[in-house]
């Protein structure tokens, strides 16, 4: 015969569930009916609004964004999934010893993807050479390549290593100067992590190794830059949550499953005022080296431009952009006036191989695709 405790649980659990459901949906209705919500986005409640699926999408967005305790639910569920299954949401591959990898790195890059990219890069090289500028391509290896030992065996693959090799070889066959960042990063790896464990990006140690690869490629190519006096210093490290942590759990709940923020040391260099190129008639705006690329270069936390400045002993202007991949920032640079205003001798193009074959490599999402030859 059921006990009083069992009867109580039988009644209490459904009551709690339906009580929370009533509370949650009441809160949703209150938020949706508020003057601020109505003023922010008015909807035409027509039949087509329902039939076309807009109503369903809006309701889904409402539940995702406004549901009470959503953040707590996401964090707790993510913790449970990570602790019990060693997994995260779609978009991340959870490896060994706290290493996270973006799912973008687990693909095969086709020969046509490489050929298409090399063709566009050759066109860029020609346009820069017409301006008297040398191009140095710095392909960046994938994190899943350099830390393959920490990738789950079921998804471990040589695809990214192959893509790096084939891409670099194809570029060199076209007479393009290529910095072998993979070799220098592998050399630096035993002395410190060259990628952040919970982030898609490299560590300052990896950025420093890549800068040394660029310097070596210039030296081997016989490109001489007039040395400039620099000042350099390490600054207080910053702490940040790796961008892949959000695919596992929320930062508020991450520490309870052993996850922690990344500590990133900051390195800063600058050309001394005496060597900055100023003359008696005013400032000379020319800078010998221009850096273009992705968030690996644009985000100052990684200090890549500073390490590049240090390795080359020359000033560097950084025009890299975040969130656009490697192709779009270069297209923007060629279409704008910055090259004419800055008059660099060398353009260093940082180019992660995991972007090869992506649909938005050469144009922003939603833009009309440009044909080859129109750089």
Sheet holding 289-292, edge to edge: 177-178, 134-140, 346-352, 289-292, 316-318
Please compute the mean of the pLDDT values over residues 44-64 and round it to a whole number.
Answer: 52
Q: pLDDT value at position 253?
A: 76
Rounded CA gap, 185 and 211, in Å? Answer: 10
Residue-wise pLDDT tens digits, 121-180: 999 999 999 999 999 999 999 999 999 999 999 999 999 999 999 999 999 999 999 999
pLDDT at 276: 52
| b/e 256-282 (16+ beta carbons within 10 angstroms → b) | eeebeebebebbebebeeeeeeeeeee
Structure confidence at residue 40 (pLDDT): 43
Query: So what's the pLDDT on residue 328?
Result: 97
Question: Is a pLDDT exceeding 70 seen at residue 360?
Answer: yes
Convert the chain into a string of H (helix), E (strand) and C (coil). CCCHHHHHHHHHHHHHHHHHHHHHHHHHHHHHHCHHHHHHCCCCCCHHHHHCCHHHHHHHHHHHHHCCCHHHHHHHHHHHHHHHHCCCCCCEEECHHHCEEEHHHCCCCCHHHHHHHHHHHHHHHHHHHHCCCEEEEEEECCHHHHCHHHCCCCCCCCHHHHHHHHHHHHHHHCCCEECCHHHHHHHHHHHCCCECCCCCCECHHHHHHHHHHHHHHHHHHCCCCCCCCEEEEEEEEEEECCCCHHHCCCCCCHHHHCCCCEEEEEEEEEECHHHCCCECCECCCCCCEEEECCHHHHCHHHCHHHHHHHHHCCCEEECCCCCCCCHHHHHHHHHCCHHHHHCCCEEEEEEEHHHCCCCCCCCCCCCCCCCCCCC
For residue 373, pLDDT beyond 70: no
244 with 144: CB under 8 angstroms?
Answer: no
How many Cβ atoms sit within 10 Å of the Cβ of residue 294?
Answer: 23
Residue 13's pLDDT is 43
Which of the four pLDDT bands, split at 50, 70 and 90, describes residue 82?
confident
Q: What is the mean pLDDT of residues 75-103?
A: 80
- pLDDT-derived band of residue 68, with 50, 70 and 90 as boundaries? low
Average pLDDT over residues 54-78: 56
To the query of whether residue 201 is one of the catalytic residues in this protein, the response is yes
Mean pLDDT for 226-255 is: 92
Question: pLDDT by residue (tens digit) across 197-224?
Answer: 999 999 999 999 999 999 999 999 999 9
Among 203, 217, 250, 295, the one annotated catalytic: 295
pLDDT band at residue 272 using 50, 70 and 90 as cut-offs: confident
Could you count the other beta carbons within 10 Å of the beta carbon of residue 230?
17
- Given a contact cutoff of 8 angstroms between Cβ atoms, the answer to whether 310 and 269 are in contact is yes
pLDDT of res. 47: 53
pLDDT given for residue 39 in this prediction: 44
The pLDDT confidence band at residue 75, using thresholds 50, 70 and 90, is: low
pLDDT for res 234: 96
Q: Mark whether 284 is an active-site residue.
A: no
End-to-end CA distance of the chain: give it in Å, rounded: 80
Whole-model pTM over 0.85: no
- Indicate the average pLDDT of the chain: 83
Q: Which residue has the higher pLDDT, 347 or 254?
A: 347
Q: Of 199, 203, 250, 297, which residue is the catalytic one?
A: 199
Percentage of residues in the chain having pLDDT higher than 90: 63
């Amino acid at each position: 015969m059921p006990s009083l405790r069992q009867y109580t649980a039988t009644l209490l659990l459904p009551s709690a569930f339906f009580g929370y459901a009533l509370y949650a949906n009441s809160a949703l209705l209150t938020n949706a009916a508020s003057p601020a919500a109505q003023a922010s986005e008015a909807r035409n409640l027509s039949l087509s609004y329902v039939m076309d699926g807009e109503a369903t999408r809006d309701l889904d967005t409402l539940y995702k964004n406004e549901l009470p305790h959503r953040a707590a639910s996401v964090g707790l569920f993510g913790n449970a999934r990570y602790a019990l299954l060693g997994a995260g949401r779609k978009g991340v591959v959870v490896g060994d010893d706290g290493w996270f990898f973006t799912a973008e790195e687990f693909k095969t890059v086709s020969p046509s993807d490489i050929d298409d990219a090399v063709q566009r890069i050759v066109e860029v090289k020609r346009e820069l050479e017409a301006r008297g500028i040398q191009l140095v391509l710095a392909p960046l290896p994938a994190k899943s390549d350099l830390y393959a030992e920490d990738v789950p065996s079921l998804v471990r693959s040589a695809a990214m290593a192959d893509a790096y090799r084939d891409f670099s070889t194809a570029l060199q066959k076209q007479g393009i100067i290529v910095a072998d960042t993979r070799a220098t990063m592998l050399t630096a790896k035993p002395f410190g992590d060259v990628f952040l464990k919970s982030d898609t990006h490299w560590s300052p140690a990896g950025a420093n190794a890549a800068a040394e690869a660029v310097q070596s490629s210039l030296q081997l190519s016989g490109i001489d830059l007039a040395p400039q006096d620099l000042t350099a210093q390490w600054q207080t490290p910053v702490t940040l949550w790796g961008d892949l942590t959000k695919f596992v759990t929320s930062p508020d709940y991450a520490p309870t499953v052993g996850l922690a923020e990344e500590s990133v040391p900051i390195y800063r260099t600058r050309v001394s005022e005496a060597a900055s190129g100023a003359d008696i008639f005013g400032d000379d705006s020319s800078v010998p080296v221009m850096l273009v690329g992705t968030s690996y270069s644009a985000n100052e936390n990684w200090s890549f431009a500073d390490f590049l400045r240090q390795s080359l002993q020359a000033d560097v202007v950084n025009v890299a952009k975040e969130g656009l991949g490697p192709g779009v920032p270069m297209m923007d640079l060629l279409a704008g006036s910055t090259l004419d205003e800055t008059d660099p001798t060398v353009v260093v193009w940082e180019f992660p191989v995991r972007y090869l074959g992506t649909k938005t490599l050469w144009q922003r999402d939603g833009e009309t695709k440009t044909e080859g030859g129109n750089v």
